Chains A and B, each alone.
Chain A
Amino acid sequence: MRTKSLSAAENPMIDPITLEVIWRRLISVVDEQAAALIHSSFTTVVREAGDLSAGVFDRAGNMVAQSVTGTPGHINTMANCVRNFIAPNYPIDSLDPGDTLITNDPWEASGHLFDLTIVSPVFYRGRGVAWFASTCHAVDIGGATMGGDARSLYEEGLAIPLMKLFRAGEPNQQLFDIIRANVRVPDQVIGDIYAQEVGNQVGARKLIEMLEEYDLPDIEAVSAQILDRTEAAVRAAIGRLPDGAYRNTIAIDGFDQPLTIACEIAVAGDSLSVDYAGSSPQVDRGINVVLNYTHAYTTYTLMAALAPGIPNNEGAFRPIEVRAPLGSILNCKRPAPVSARHLIGHFVSQPLLTALSEVVPEQVIANGSAGLWNTMMDGLDENGREFAYVFFSAGGMGAACDRDGLSATAFPSGIMGVPVESIETAAPLLMHRRELRADSGGAGRFRGGLGQIMELEIITGAPANHSCMYDRTGNPAQGLLGGQPGAAGDLRLSDGSRPHPKSHYVLQPGQRVLLELPGGGGFGESFMREPGRVLADVRQGYITVEAAERDYGVAIDAATMTIDEAATARLRRENDE
C-alpha cells in the first residue's frame, strides 16, 4: 500500500544534500521529542529501561523518522497504528490545532492495554502537515496485574478506544476522570500521559521551526524521497538473497502446554513474505500476540539481519509482508487475553534467524534466551506500606559464525536490567547472588552467551506475592549449524519446590528463590573450537573442566590449567569416528 501525497508530486525533487540535511534535522527533532518525554516521565521502565518509542509521520501517517530510543515492539507497532488506524479514522484535515488522540487498543496498537499510544497532529500555516506519536508503557492500567493469568481481555484492565485526549488544547476531562478511576496509581499514569503530550508538542514546535528555516510547506516531499530510498535499499538487500522458501519451527514453553512457532520466509526477487501458518492456536491465557506485534518483531528481526545500516521507517516495511492465521497464537482474535504478549512475541525472532541461516549464515545468530525474565514482587514492607517492584533480566544470546554470544544481554527486546542496589533500595528484597551461570552457553565452535543466576528472598518477615514470567524452562535455545543448545532456565525455591514459571505464588519469609536464566545456543561444531579458546573459557570459569572434555573434546589438567594435548587429540579423533 503506497501513499503518494499531492504535494510530493507538486514539489520539485529535493537534491540529495538538502534531503540529507533536512532528514538529519528530522531525526534530531524526534530525539528532542523523546528527551522531553523521558525527562518528564514517572515510570521507571520508560526512563531507565527505555520502554518507549517516539516518531514523526507524514500527513498520511507514514512513519518517517523514529528516535534512537525504544523497543521494536513499540516502534514498529506505532508505525502500523498511525498509518492503518489513526490517520484513516481521523484524517489530519478533519482535526483542529490542539487536538490530540489516544488509544491503547491492543489489536490496532502495540498488543496490550498497558501501552498508551498518543498522537498529535501538527498544524502549520493553517494546515495539518505531520503527526508526532509516542507509545509508552503505563505503570498500571487497572484490571489484574501484569501477567499471563487473565482469561480474556476484559480482565486485563481499562480499554481506551481511539478518541480525543485533547480537543483544541482542552483536556477531555471525562476521559481523564475515567482513567483516574480505573488505575491504581492515577497520579503517575496521568503524569505520564502529560509527559507524552509534552513530547509531542516539543516535536511539533521544533518541526515548525525547521519548516520555517528551510521554507518548506510540509514534509511530504522529504518523506516521499526518504521512504523511496529506504525501500530501494531494503529491496536491494532482499534481492541479494536467492529466491526460495526458507522454513523453521521452534517449540516454546507456552503457559501450560508447549507451543509451536512455525515460519516460512518466501523470497521472490526483491520482496519477501513471512507466513506463520502452522503455529499453535491462541490460548485462554494472556500470552496471545496480535498481528501488529508479530509484524513488529518480524520486520525488526529481518532488518537487523539483512539491512542493519538502513533506517527503520515506513519504506523499510513496504517490501515485507507478514501473515499469520487468524486465531493463531501470533494473530489472536478479540477478546483474547494479551497482557503478557511479549513472552511469546519476542520468540518470532528465533525461527526467522534460523530459517535465514540456510542462505546467509554469516548474517544471523543462533537462538538465545529471547524472552526477558520479568520478576514482580508485591506485598507490605516493614512499615506496613504497600510495595510493588518489577524488574527485567536477560539470559544469554546466541553465538554467531565468528564470535561467541553475548552473556546476560536482552535480545530481541531493547530493555535494560536494573542494578541490585537500586532494587534493594526500592523494595524489601535481598539478593544473595547475581552471577554468570557457568556451562549455560551452548557449546559450539563459537559458544552461546551465558545466562545468569539470581538468588533472592524477602526480608520483611512477612510473605509476599511473586509473579513470574519466565520462559525457556522447558525448551532451551537451539544451536545453529551443529552448535549445541544452551541450558534451559529453571525456577525453584530453597525447599526444592518449583512454582509455575508463568503464574504467581506466595513467597514465605526465609525462603529463597533461585532463578537460573537460560543460555544462548552455540554456532558450529563444538569439537571444532580452538582448544586455546576452550582453555581460556575454563580459566575464566565460563565453562567447567568437565564440560571442556565432554562438550569440546579438550582435556585440561585442572591443577596446572594446561591442555593435555595427547588426550585432546584422542578425544577429538574418537568424536570424528
Chain B
Amino acid sequence: MTAPTVLLAIDIGGTFTDLVALDFDSGRVAVEKLLTTYPDPSLAVLEGARSLLERAGLSPARIRYVVHGTTLITNTLIERKGARTALLATAGFRDAVEIGNEGRYDMYDLALRKPAPLAERRLRFDVPERTLADGRVWQPLDLACLACLRQVCAQLRAERVEAVAICFLHAYTNPAHELAAREIVEAELPGVAVSASHQVAPGMREYPRASTTIANAYVQPVTGRYLERVEEGLQSSGIAAPLNIMLSSGGTTTVAASRDFPIRLVESGPAGGALAGLHWGRLLGQTDVFAFDMGGTTAKAALTRAGELAISHQSEVAHVHRFKRGSGLPLMTPMIEMIEIGAGGGSIAHLNALGLPAIGPESAGSSPGPASYGAGGTQPTVTDADLLLGYLNPDYFAGGDIQLDRQAARASFAKLSAALDLPLERTAWGVHQLVNENMAAAARVHAAERGLEIRRYCMVATGGAGPVHACGVASGLGVRRIIIPPIAGVASAFGFLTAPIAFDFTRSYVSRLDELDLGELNRILAELEQDGRRIVEAAGVAAQDISARLNIDMRYVGQGYEVRVPFAMDELQQRHIAEMRRVFEAEYRAFYGQLADGVPIEAVNWRILISGPQPRVDAAEFGEARTASDSPVARRHVRFAPDQAPMETPVFRRERLSASWSAEGPCIIEEEASTTVVAPGWSVAVAASGCLLLTREDAQA
C-alpha cells in the first residue's frame, strides 16, 4: 500500500460545510459543499467526507491527516448555550468580569447594554488567597483556605455546576495557588470541566483574563462532546488518520489540546480565509497581502505584516452590537487580527437621520435575501445594486442556481432613488460605491492603527461578493494588484490545508531590560517551550521538525501599548539584552518614526510559538483538463461611473480561459461561485494555479 498522501480539510460555517481534499502525489484537489446540519453539525461532516472520497475515488486509507475548523464554539457563545459555569476568584475580586473597563462603547447611547458575564454573580465565589504583582505570596492558600474551597465545591455540586473557571490575581506570575485550587476542584467535582487562568490566558489584566477563562470553561463540555462525535464518526467511515483542529491563531492542534483550550478555536473559519490569502499572495510572489472576503452579510479582512499574518491577543466575541467595538466579551487568546464590517451582498441600503444614504448593518441575509432573489425581499441591497449596474448576470448567479429578477431589483430601488432625487442607476451606483468606501475606510483605519502603508499591498479577494467589489475597494485604497484565487467558494477550508501544526504559550513577566533576572526568565521560557513541544509532538510532528520562535512585547516605561518584537530563540544571556534594545528600537522607529531617548525600556509579555513545518500545497491543480476558449461568451452593458453611459463589456467564463489569457478592463469574468468585475483602467491575466491577477495600469509607477 502507498503512503498516505491526502490532506482533508473540513470547515463548518453557519450555512455551509465545506470540504477540500488535496492529494500531494497528483496535486489533485477535490471539493465538496453541503448545508450545515443542526443541531448536530457532525452529521454533515461525516456525510461530506464520505461523498467527497467516493467522488474523488480516494480510499480513506490514503488520508494522512484531517484538519477541522468549526463555528460551534463561536455560536455557543453568541447563543449563550454553553455549560453552567462558576468562577473562583481571589477574595474581593469576583466582580472584575462585571465591572469590566467601566467605559461605554457608544458615547451617545443612554440605553447602552453591556454583555452579561457568562458566569452570573451568584456563581462567582471568593477564595481567600493573594499573590502580589511580582509573584510573592501575600496570603497563602493555607489549610483554612482549602477548607473554605471545599465548602465552595459543595455549593457548586448543589448548584449542579458543569464547568469551573479559576482566576486569581497575578496568577500569570505565580500559578501555585491556581494549581492547588484546580487539584481540589478536580478531586471534589469529578467530571466537571476546570479552566485555570494561568493556563488559558496567562497575561496581565484581570478583566480580560477572567473573561477568557470563563468563556473557555463555558464551551469546554460542548466542545468535548462534539469532538468525540467527529472523531468516532471519522473512524467509523474508515478514516483512521489523525484529526487536527484549526485554531484562531492560524495553526492547528490536537483534539486533546482543543478540549483543554476550546476558546482558541473561536473564529477559526475566518483564520482559514486569511491563511488562504497569504498562500495565494506568496504563490504569486507577494508578501504584503490584504486578504479580503465579502459574503452575504459581512466582509472580513486581514493584513500581513512583514510577510506574516498579524496575531492579536485582544479580541472580543459575542457582541451585544455585532459591529460595535467594545460591546463583546473580551478574549486574550491569540487570534489572527481581522477587520469585520457589516457589509455584504445582502446588506440593506436606507436613509440615515441626515437624509443621506447608508448601507447595513441590517441584512436581508439568505432569506428572504435581496429583492432580486424574488423570495419576498423588498428592500434594496448591495446585490440588487450590483445587478442593476450590470455586474451580475441574472441567469448565471451561483452558477444559475438562483435566477435574479431585474424588475424586482428596480422596484426595490424606486423609493430610495425618489428620496434622494436621483436616477435609479445613479442611486444603484451610489450604493455600490458607498459599500466599497465603507470597506476601504475600515481597512484604512485598521492599517493606520498599526502603522502600515496599505497602498503597497496586494489584495486577495474571495467570497461570493469579494471579486465583484475588489476593484472598487482597491481603488479607494490606492491598492494596485488584486488576486482572485480559484475555488474562492471554499477559501477557508483550503486555507486550513496550509496551516502548520502549532501552539503558542504566553507569560507576562514585566521587567525593565536593565533589571531582567535571566535565570528566572530562562526557566520560564524553557517551561513554555516544553509545554508547546509536548502538544505539537502529540500531533505527530517529529521532534527534529519542530521550530520555536520567541516574540517579546516591549515598551518604554510609562507607555501602555507594547510593540511586539521577534527575537532569536536561545538561552538568554547578558549580551542579549543590548540586542533586545536594538531590535525594539528598530521596530519602534519603523512604527512611530522616532525614539523616546533616555526613557528606559521594559519587557511585558514573552510569547513562544512552537510549530511544525508548513505544509507545501503549491502543487495544487484545480479543475479538470478542458478545451480552452478565450473569446467572450457574451457582451452586456455595464456601468462603471456615475455620470457616464454604460459601456458595452465583454463577458468571459473563467473555467474556459487558457493559461496565457489576458485582457484589458472593462471586462467581466463569470464563474459558479462569483463574478470578477475588471474596471476600466485595470487589466487582468491568468496566473499560476489558475489565479486571476488584476493590475491597475499605473502599477509600475
**Contact yes or no, A39 B104, CB < 8 A:** no
User: Hey, which chain B residues are within 8 Å of A435, CB to CB?
Assistant: 92-95, 99
Q: Which residues from 354 to 387 on chain B have a C-beta closer than 8 Å to any C-beta of chain A?
A: 354-358
**Contact yes or no, B102 A416, CB < 8 A:** yes
Q: Which residues from 93 to 124 on chain B have a C-beta closer than 8 Å to any C-beta of chain A?
A: 93-96, 98-104, 107-114, 120-122
Given contacts A421-B133, A452-B95, A452-B99, contact A539 B122 (CB under 8 A): yes
**Contact yes or no, A400 B110, CB < 8 A:** yes
Q: How far is the CA of A365 from the CA of B111 in the complex (A)?
A: 8
**Contact yes or no, A47 B109, CB < 8 A:** no
B427 in complex: contacting residue of A17, A27, A406, A425, CB < 8 Å: A17
Identify the stretch in B438-446, B479-487, B519-527 within 8 Å (CB) of chain A at 4 or more residues: B438-446
- The residue on A at minimum CB distance from B325 is A68
User: Hey, which chain A residues are within 8 Å of B433, CB to CB?
Assistant: 17, 21
Q: Which residues from 14 to 51 on chain A have a C-beta closer than 8 Å to any C-beta of chain B?
A: 15-21, 23-25, 27-28, 31-32, 35-36, 38-40, 42, 44, 47-48, 50
Identify the stretch in B226-234, B592-600, B679-687 within 8 Å (CB) of chain A at 4 or more residues: B592-600
**Contact yes or no, A419 B205, CB < 8 A:** yes
**Contact yes or no, A39 B437, CB < 8 A:** no
B104 in complex: contacting residue of A48, A309, A402, A411, CB < 8 Å: A411
Q: Which residues from 415 to 442 on chain A have a C-beta closer than 8 Å to any C-beta of chain B?
A: 415-417, 419-422, 424-425, 430-436
Q: How far is the CA of A16 from the CA of B357 in the complex (A)?
A: 7
Given contacts A16-B420, A364-B110, A419-B204, contact A230 B354 (CB under 8 A): yes
**Contact yes or no, A403 B133, CB < 8 A:** no
**Contact yes or no, B594 A17, CB < 8 A:** no
Question: Does residue B558 face the partner (Cβ distance < 8 Å to A)?
Answer: yes
Q: How far is the CA of A303 from the CA of B102 in the complex (A)?
A: 22
**Contact yes or no, A42 B596, CB < 8 A:** yes
- The residue on A at minimum CB distance from B445 is A31
Question: Does residue A82 face the partner (Cβ distance < 8 Å to B)?
Answer: no
**Contact yes or no, A433 B91, CB < 8 A:** yes
User: Hey, which chain B residues are within 8 Å of A419, CB to CB?
Assistant: 96, 204-207
Smallest distance from the beta carbon of B475 to chain A beta carbons, Å? Answer: 9
Question: Does residue A304 face the partner (Cβ distance < 8 Å to B)?
Answer: yes
Smallest distance from the beta carbon of B23 to chain A beta carbons, Å? Answer: 45
User: Hey, which chain B residues are within 8 Å of A420, CB to CB?
Assistant: 93, 96, 169, 206
**Contact yes or no, B205 A421, CB < 8 A:** yes
- The residue on A at minimum CB distance from B93 is A434
Question: Does residue A244 face the partner (Cβ distance < 8 Å to B)?
Answer: no
Question: Does residue A409 face the partner (Cβ distance < 8 Å to B)?
Answer: yes
Question: Does residue B236 face the partner (Cβ distance < 8 Å to A)?
Answer: no
Question: Does residue B430 face the partner (Cβ distance < 8 Å to A)?
Answer: yes
Question: Does residue A177 face the partner (Cβ distance < 8 Å to B)?
Answer: no
**Contact yes or no, A434 B102, CB < 8 A:** no
Smallest distance from the beta carbon of B467 to chain A beta carbons, Å? Answer: 22
Q: How far is the CA of A392 from the CA of B449 in the complex (A)?
A: 25
B354 in complex: contacting residue of A310, A363, A393, A542, CB < 8 Å: A310
Question: Does residue B34 face the partner (Cβ distance < 8 Å to A)?
Answer: no
User: Hey, which chain B residues are within 8 Å of A166, CB to CB?
Assistant: none
- The residue on B at minimum CB distance from A459 is B132
Smallest distance from the beta carbon of A208 to chain B beta carbons, Å? Answer: 13
User: Hey, which chain A residues are within 8 Å of B533, CB to CB?
Assistant: none
Question: Does residue B38 face the partner (Cβ distance < 8 Å to A)?
Answer: no
User: Hey, which chain A residues are within 8 Å of B478, CB to CB?
Assistant: 209
Q: How far is the CA of A79 from the CA of B445 in the complex (A)?
A: 23
Question: Does residue B418 face the partner (Cβ distance < 8 Å to A)?
Answer: no
Given contacts A28-B444, A452-B99, contact A304 B109 (CB under 8 A): yes
Question: Does residue A217 face the partner (Cβ distance < 8 Å to B)?
Answer: no
**Contact yes or no, B103 A25, CB < 8 A:** no
User: Hey, which chain A residues are within 8 Å of B121, CB to CB?
Assistant: 436, 540-542
Question: Does residue A93 face the partner (Cβ distance < 8 Å to B)?
Answer: no
Q: Which residues from 201 to 249 on chain A have a C-beta closer than 8 Å to any C-beta of chain B?
A: 202, 209, 226, 229-230, 233
Q: How far is the CA of A476 from the CA of B1 in the complex (A)?
A: 81
- The residue on A at minimum CB distance from B355 is A229
A425 in complex: contacting residue of B108, B133, B594, CB < 8 Å: B133
**Contact yes or no, A42 B593, CB < 8 A:** no
Question: Does residue A143 face the partner (Cβ distance < 8 Å to B)?
Answer: no
Question: Does residue A518 face the partner (Cβ distance < 8 Å to B)?
Answer: no
User: Hey, which chain A residues are within 8 Å of B510, CB to CB?
Assistant: 425
Q: Which residues from 415 to 457 on chain B have a C-beta closer than 8 Å to any C-beta of chain A?
A: 420, 422, 426-427, 429-430, 433-434, 437-438, 440-441, 444-445, 448-449, 451
Q: How far is the CA of A539 from the CA of B123 in the complex (A)?
A: 10
**Contact yes or no, A540 B122, CB < 8 A:** yes
**Contact yes or no, A393 B102, CB < 8 A:** yes
Question: Does residue B559 face the partner (Cβ distance < 8 Å to A)?
Answer: yes
Smallest distance from the beta carbon of B542 to chain A beta carbons, Å? Answer: 40
Given contacts A24-B438, A435-B92, contact A407 B355 (CB under 8 A): no
Number of interface residues of A (CB under 8 A): 85
**Contact yes or no, A188 B108, CB < 8 A:** no
**Contact yes or no, B104 A47, CB < 8 A:** no
Given contacts A31-B448, A364-B110, A541-B121, contact A19 B94 (CB under 8 A): no
Question: Does residue A63 face the partner (Cβ distance < 8 Å to B)?
Answer: no
Taken residue by residue from 187 to 206, chain B's Cβ proximity to chain A (1 for < 8 Å, 0 otherwise) reads as 00000000000000000111
**Contact yes or no, B103 A416, CB < 8 A:** yes
**Contact yes or no, B111 A400, CB < 8 A:** yes
Taken residue by residue from 336 to 357, chain B's Cβ proximity to chain A (1 for < 8 Å, 0 otherwise) reads as 0000000000000000111111
User: Hey, which chain A residues are within 8 Å of B427, CB to CB?
Assistant: 17
A72 in complex: contacting residue of B107, B354, B445, CB < 8 Å: B107
Smallest distance from the beta carbon of A452 to chain B beta carbons, Å? Answer: 6
Question: Does residue A414 face the partner (Cβ distance < 8 Å to B)?
Answer: yes
**Contact yes or no, B204 A39, CB < 8 A:** no
A424 in complex: contacting residue of B104, B112, B113, B133, CB < 8 Å: B133
User: Hey, which chain A residues are within 8 Å of B120, CB to CB?
Assistant: 540
- The residue on A at minimum CB distance from B419 is A16
Question: Does residue B285 face the partner (Cβ distance < 8 Å to A)?
Answer: no
Question: Does residue B16 face the partner (Cβ distance < 8 Å to A)?
Answer: no
Q: How far is the CA of A435 from the CA of B125 in the complex (A)?
A: 12
Most chain A beta-carbon contacts within 10 A, residue among B95, B204, B352, B433: B95
User: Hey, which chain B residues are within 8 Å of A233, CB to CB?
Assistant: 353-355
Given contacts A44-B560, A394-B102, contact A16 B422 (CB under 8 A): yes
Question: Does residue A311 face the partner (Cβ distance < 8 Å to B)?
Answer: yes
**Contact yes or no, B591 A39, CB < 8 A:** yes
User: Hey, which chain B residues are within 8 Å of A540, CB to CB?
Assistant: 120-122
**Contact yes or no, A194 B594, CB < 8 A:** yes
Given contacts A17-B434, A419-B206, contact A410 B353 (CB under 8 A): no
**Contact yes or no, A25 B441, CB < 8 A:** yes
Q: Which residues from 79 to 105 on chain A have a C-beta closer than 8 Å to any C-beta of chain B?
A: none
Question: Does residue B397 face the partner (Cβ distance < 8 Å to A)?
Answer: no
B430 in complex: contacting residue of A17, A191, A402, CB < 8 Å: A17
Question: Does residue B640 face the partner (Cβ distance < 8 Å to A)?
Answer: no
Given contacts A304-B108, A432-B92, A433-B93, contact A409 B441 (CB under 8 A): no
Q: How far is the CA of A393 from the CA of B99 in the complex (A)?
A: 10
**Contact yes or no, A421 B98, CB < 8 A:** no
Smallest distance from the beta carbon of B422 to chain A beta carbons, Å? Answer: 6
- The residue on B at minimum CB distance from A185 is B558
**Contact yes or no, A28 B104, CB < 8 A:** no
Taken residue by residue from 589 to 625, chain B's Cβ proximity to chain A (1 for < 8 Å, 0 otherwise) reads as 0011110111100000000000000000000000000
- The residue on B at minimum CB distance from A437 is B95
Could you pull out 15 A-B pairs where Cβ atoms are within 8 angstroms? Answer: A17-B434, A23-B356, A24-B441, A40-B594, A233-B353, A304-B108, A312-B108, A406-B104, A414-B107, A417-B101, A419-B96, A420-B206, A424-B170, A434-B93, A434-B96
Which residues of B approach A to under 8 Å, CB–CB?
91-96, 98-104, 107-114, 120-122, 132-133, 138, 169-170, 204-207, 352-358, 420, 422, 426-427, 429-430, 433-434, 437-438, 440-441, 444-445, 448-449, 451, 478, 510, 556, 558-561, 591-594, 596-599, 642
Beyond A39-B561, A434-B92, list 17 extra A-B contacts (CB 8 Å).
A15-B426, A16-B422, A19-B356, A20-B358, A39-B449, A47-B561, A188-B558, A188-B599, A202-B448, A393-B102, A402-B111, A403-B113, A408-B98, A422-B204, A424-B133, A431-B92, A434-B96
